[in-house]
Structure 1
Amino acid sequence: MTVPTEGRSTEERSRGPLAGLLVADFSRVLAGPYATMLLADLGAEVVKVEGPGGDDTRTWAPPLRDGVSTYYLGINRNKRSVVLDLSVDDDLAAARELARRADVLVENLRPGGLARFGLGYDEVAATNPGVVYASISGFGSGPEGRSLPGYDLIVQAVSGLMSLTGDADGSPYRAGVAVIDVVTGLHAAVGVLSALHARAGTGRGQHVEVDLLSSALSGLVNQTSAVVAGGVVPFRMGNSHPSLFPYEPLPCADGDLVVAAGNDGQFRRLVGVLGVPELADDPRFARNEGRVANRRELRALLVERLRTRAKDEWFADITAAGVPCGPINTVDQGVALAQRLGLDPVVAVGGVPSVRHPIRLSATPAGYWLPPPGLDEHGAEVRRWLAAPED
């Protein structure tokens, strides 16, 4: 489909694997905007539709960069913003025309929220049968869940994630990032790409539905599997792992070092470096099951050795032995580590620093051509394009 292209070179437009796709983004906050940014980085043209007040995250501050919320900046690059008040006839007509032209529509209003404006899946598909229409909700579109508002924190609580996070004898904690929103955004992007692949064979789009609670339960992986397949209810263990040991921070002479011996071979190499190779042949510790069952005794023996040297010294030696380990960094130190490893984690988009797209494609790489837009920054351009006949 013809899409607005001001701001991109011909080379940039044709290089991304999703070049030529138009995404009508009616989402806000995190899960939807994160999904659409991933698609935009891969070449899709994303038109971000905002109400007169703008995306909520525009006001989620501090921190700020040049007066703009860094929360908003982190998930809205490579998009064009147009303000459309769906209670105004002309704006509603423009929104419907955008939906009619779109390859993909993403929305995260409460289920049925867009249908009252004639922008639900059935209405859009009636004039645009090829549309891939992605709906993101908190608790699904069923009669019980559709009326429940969904925020990441709420779903961290009700899914059980918070019951697993924190000290064993302390209070439940939320994760330090809106991890459920991020996982849901990833699921939405996978669903959209799957439906686009199916459309290539059938010519027809479909309705893609993802919700925060289902994404949370899927993202809890081994912990939800323990419940549904093993009948075991997991509980908070602080930094300990329910099925592996050692797989946690361990104290050295000057602080903690995270050690992750994920199999028997890694454990044997670890205790060799620590100078207690006999532990690998101890019947209590030779196999992972025994190490988990006897973690208290084994932890004391490992800590006794680790406390004899600084964490950076152990980090160098344990890593050299092929055993995963690492210091507990601050976020800025994590970014610096990625830089040292040659991962180039930061890209500048129109002078705005941003975190690089995480997927590397050898032939059709992600691109960065538009900084996060100001509110209605591209409104006139998008309106002109919608008012003009299609090519």
Structure 2
Amino acid sequence: MLRDSLKGVRVVDFSHVLAGPVCSMTLADLGAHVVKIEPLQGEIGRKIGPPWIDGESPTFMSVNRNKHSVSIDLKADAGRRVVREMIRKADVLVENFRPGVMASMGLDYESLRKDHPKLVYCSISAFGQTGSNMRRPGVDGVIQAVSGLMSTLGATQGDPLKVPIPVADMIGGYLAAIAVLGALHRVYRDQIGQHLDVSLYNATLMLQQIGFAAFFASGRNPEKTGSAAPYACPNEAFPTRDGWIMVVAYDMARWSALCEVAEVPELEHDSRFSTNDDRVRNRHVLHELLAARFIERSTAEWIARLAPRDVICAPLATYSDVTGTTEYRESGIARTVEHPAAGTVRTHGFALGPSDKPVKDEIPAPLTGQHTVEMLKLYGIQDDEITELLNAGVIRAGVAHAVAI
């Protein structure tokens, strides 16, 4: 099973908030054993994303499943000594501090590689580990702005918009996981680790490859097109009598079928709309003509008319709509987990395996320090040293629950 692909791989995860946790969660979903290193009070991502569920942030819970929390004071010499011992027995390290922070604790790649040449060390940051902007702070919204993404979003002449989900963090985290997988294969092949430099800025540029390709070819900045695709028409949303419908009919067969079903045969033979390029150039005129037809019927009526003619279409769904659909139920992504503080929680899980065989052994995001003692023991820290660390306040031990090691 894909879920067992990284079984036996150990990950020590120093990351926080979103991009790093998405990376380590993806590795955990693939079977890696992930130990999440947190400060004594818990990582700051635990306080982001209201509404909270019994004190736990849904945002945190959504990107930290299948991990084990070790709460430790990295400002203390003893704390850093313990994590260095853990790293020696790990395969992967993930961190997303600002460049220089790990080095200040003696936990940077150059310091660790001497004793661990096979270590895959993944650093995720806003602008990368080198260059004039390496220490520049950056969060998802800033990256969406500076990468050009925000300039492409919204209606013509409208205010700047951002993607409301943290798309820079998410794509950065997933690309970081891909980079780790490649680096692990190199370890398997050549017995050599490496330092991976994953920039959210670069990741968001990669996300826009098609847009930049069009810019390089034309020299023109992309126009804001709302729900429409800038390269195809019609490929956009139209208001109906009771909602909205997304319609994709830019190839000739579907364009012809759309004109027939919408009872506007004259548009098919209008020279302004003869080809896809013509329709893109005259998008605004065409949109008004088609919108006048779509508003006459309900979304369901239009889908019933268009779908049999193979015109690609779908209703614009809210989250409450989505979770009630057959597609959602059959996707295999929905989970209900028992969280030790929040109780029964609805969430999403790993969804890259067969949808008819959903993963059953996922564990919810951990409480702060929930697995401190058992994870330190797993990594070879002796009982007397653990007791000393507890007494000195260097580590925090939460309430543990049974997990498979």
TM-score w.r.t. the length of structure 1 is 0.90
User: Is the alpha carbon distance of 1:214 and 1:229 closer, same or farther for their aligned partners in structure 2, counting shifts above 3 Å?
Assistant: farther
Q: Is the 8 A contact 2:330 2:355 kept in 1?
A: no
Question: After the TM superposition, which of the residue ranges 168-177 and 59-68 deviates more from structure 2?
Answer: 59-68
User: Is the alpha carbon distance of 1:196 and 1:254 closer, same or farther for their aligned partners in structure 2, counting shifts above 3 Å?
Assistant: same
Amino acid at match of 2:371: H
Q: Is the 8 A contact 1:83 1:375 kept in 2?
A: yes
In the other structure, the counterpart of 2:392 is none
Amino acid at match of 2:308: A
> What is the distance in 1 between the residues matched to 2:109 and 2:76?
21
The answer to whether 1:37 aligns with 2:25 is yes
Shift of 1:194: 0.9
The answer to whether 1:305 aligns with 2:293 is yes
Match of 1:358 among 345, 351, 361: 351
Q: Is the 8 A contact 1:335 1:345 kept in 2?
A: no
User: Is the alpha carbon distance of 1:229 and 1:132 closer, same or farther for their aligned partners in structure 2, counting shifts above 3 Å?
Assistant: farther
Shift of 1:229: 3.7
Question: After the TM superposition, which of the residue ranges 53-62 and 204-213 deviates more from structure 2?
Answer: 53-62
In the other structure, the counterpart of 1:372 is 365
Shift of 1:307: 2.3
Shift of 1:26: 0.7
The answer to whether 1:28 aligns with 2:16 is yes
After superposition, the C-alpha distances for 1:59-115 in whole angstroms (9 at most, x for unaligned) are 114212232111111000100000121111221111111211111111001112111
The answer to whether 1:254 aligns with 2:242 is yes
> What is the distance in 1 between the residues matched to 2:362 and 2:281?
53
Amino acid at match of 2:93: L
State the secondary structure of the residue aligned to 1:387.
coil
Q: Is the 8 A contact 1:42 1:365 kept in 2?
A: no
> What is the distance in 2 between the residues matched to 1:151 and 1:15?
31
Match of 1:90 among 78, 86, 89: 78
Amino acid at match of 1:304: A
In the other structure, the counterpart of 2:304 is 316
Amino acid at match of 2:148: G
Amino acid at match of 1:124: L
After superposition, the C-alpha distances for 1:108-154 in whole angstroms (9 at most, x for unaligned) are 01112111222111122211111111110101122412110120011
Shift of 1:40: 0.6
Amino acid at match of 2:365: P
Shift of 1:282: 3.5
Q: Is the 8 A contact 2:36 2:69 kept in 1?
A: yes
Q: Is the 8 A contact 2:3 2:353 kept in 1?
A: no
> What is the distance in 2 between the residues matched to 1:338 and 1:179?
26
In the other structure, the counterpart of 2:174 is 186
Amino acid at match of 1:374: L
In the other structure, the counterpart of 2:38 is 50
Match of 2:61 among 61, 70, 73: 73
Unaligned runs of 5+ in 1: 1-11
In the other structure, the counterpart of 2:187 is 199
In the other structure, the counterpart of 2:314 is 326
Shift of 1:341: 5.5
Q: Is the 8 A contact 1:41 1:366 kept in 2?
A: no
Amino acid at match of 1:78: N
Q: Is the 8 A contact 2:332 2:355 kept in 1?
A: no
Amino acid at match of 1:195: A
Match of 1:276 among 264, 286, 289: 264
User: Is the alpha carbon distance of 1:370 and 1:252 closer, same or farther for their aligned partners in structure 2, counting shifts above 3 Å?
Assistant: closer
Question: After the TM superposition, which of the residue ranges 366-375 and 124-133 deviates more from structure 2?
Answer: 366-375
Shift of 1:321: 2.0
In the other structure, the counterpart of 2:91 is 103
User: Is the alpha carbon distance of 1:355 and 1:338 closer, same or farther for their aligned partners in structure 2, counting shifts above 3 Å?
Assistant: farther
Amino acid at match of 1:303: A
> What is the distance in 2 between the residues matched to 1:207 and 1:319?
50
Question: After the TM superposition, which of the residue ranges 360-369 and 303-312 deviates more from structure 2?
Answer: 360-369
Shift of 1:367: 5.6
Amino acid at match of 1:348: T
> What is the distance in 2 between the residues matched to 1:120 and 1:293?
53
Shift of 1:366: 5.3
User: How many positions carry a matched residue from both structures?
Assistant: 377
State the secondary structure of the residue aligned to 2:165.
coil
In the other structure, the counterpart of 1:3 is none
Question: After the TM superposition, which of the residue ranges 286-295 and 186-195 deviates more from structure 2?
Answer: 286-295
Map residues 8-19 of structure 1 onto 2, 5 A cutoff. 16-19=4-7
Question: After the TM superposition, which of the residue ranges 345-354 and 49-58 deviates more from structure 2?
Answer: 345-354
The answer to whether 1:385 aligns with 2:378 is yes
User: Is the alpha carbon distance of 1:152 and 1:338 closer, same or farther for their aligned partners in structure 2, counting shifts above 3 Å?
Assistant: farther
> What is the distance in 2 between the residues matched to 1:366 and 1:129?
34
State the secondary structure of the residue aligned to 2:325.
helix
Shift of 1:346: 1.0
After superposition, the C-alpha distances for 1:322-361 in whole angstroms (9 at most, x for unaligned) are 2221222111222322655511331123343320223125
After superposition, the C-alpha distances for 1:205-259 in whole angstroms (9 at most, x for unaligned) are 1111111111111112222222334322113232233211111111222332111
Q: Is the 8 A contact 2:332 2:358 kept in 1?
A: no
> What is the distance in 1 between the residues matched to 2:299 and 2:334?
28
State the secondary structure of the residue aligned to 2:273.
coil
> What is the distance in 2 between the residues matched to 1:189 and 1:207?
13
Question: After the TM superposition, which of the residue ranges 319-328 and 69-78 deviates more from structure 2?
Answer: 319-328
Unaligned runs of 5+ in 2: 339-343, 383-405
Q: Is the 8 A contact 2:323 2:329 kept in 1?
A: no
